Amino acid sequence: MLSTPCAGSSSTRSPSTGCHPAGAQSRAQHALRGQLEHSLAVHGVSPGRPAPVEDQPAPPAPAPDSGRPVGILRIPKIAVDQVMVEGIGSAQLAVGPGHYPGTPLPGEAGNAAIAGHRTTHGATFYNLNRLAPGDRITVTADQGAFDYEVTRSEVVAPTDVSVLDPSSVPELTLTTCNPRYSAARRLVVVARMVTAGAPGPSTPAPLPTRAGLQAPVAPDPVRSAGNWIRLAVWGLAGAGMVLAIRAARRRLGGRSAVIAWVVTVPVGVVALFFLFGAVSTMLPASV
């Protein structure tokens, strides 16, 4: 199945309610960008400003370790400027777009595939549906900057991994869930590298079979007893705080009522925050 988790609503465009709120994703991105900019400087790519676009695909590089930054993905039309990491597991996609292991790295010849969240963890691909043929995507990595032009988009079934198939030309395939807040389908955007040189080799490097590119199926959060217990605990806590505040208003007056409000309101806010986080874990994921 295509790995593009998209549960909940924790993003910069919607209320931050997930167990990994947008603020956490932003802090992770800041740290990753620092690591990547150091690596770019070591490889002679100017960090902090766009690098000159390369005139041909990069040669194949060794596969990076899981979770390591692999490049900066910039999509001006939808205001995306995010560090990509290696891997498509929940831990990797919680911090940024993830590169499918077994596909070429962005900038190399062949079909480089990237998965991203649509409605949680910064919601990098929230507006991916707005991309149209001709829109530009830029990837900056240790081997330079590479420019892509969107050629098509399609919606496929979660089990359709043909979009990860090898390509004889250098392409970038972006995947996410569709529609938002649902795991029913997958939105796929394909872009072809725009270079001054020839396209990628006519015979692409061998890649794993489709079975090797399939991500493991994530457990259904609704069937997890731990999620239900967490939801019940924080639901009761939130309800208790609301009842306590109402009781204080009825039974106390003057200064005592003010003290009750000062004590219970902050506690209630914390309880509601964790309640929203528990609710977000029960929403559907897209793996």
Highest mean pLDDT range out of 52-61, 133-142, 187-196, 257-266?
133-142
Under DSSP, is residue 147 helix (H, G, I), strand (E, B) or coil?
strand
Question: Greater confidence, 181 or 18?
Answer: 181
Q: Per-residue confidence at 119, pLDDT binned at 50, 70, 90?
A: confident
Phi, psi for 142 (deg, rounded to 5) = -60, -30
The per-residue pLDDT for 243 is: 76
Model confidence pLDDT, tens digit, residues 181-196: 877 889 999 999 997 4
The per-residue pLDDT for 55 is: 74
Each domain of the chain, given as residue ranges in start order, spans 22-217, 222-281
Count of residues in the chain: 287
**pTM value?**
0.65
Question: Greater confidence, 78 or 215?
Answer: 78
Question: Greater confidence, 235 or 75?
Answer: 75
- How many Cβ atoms from other residues are within 10 Å of residue 243's Cβ? 11
Q: What's 11's DSSP letter?
A: B
Model confidence pLDDT, tens digit, residues 82-102: 999 999 998 888 899 999 999
How would you write 31-54 as a 3-class SS string?
HHHHHHHHHHHHCCCCCCCCCCEC
Question: Greater confidence, 44 or 6?
Answer: 44
From 10, 278, 276, 31, select the one nearest 124 (Cα to Cα): 10
Beta strands in 132-197 (DSSP E): 136-141, 144-156, 171-178, 185-193
CATH number of 22-217: 2.40.260.10
Q: Per-residue confidence at 50, pLDDT binned at 50, 70, 90?
A: low
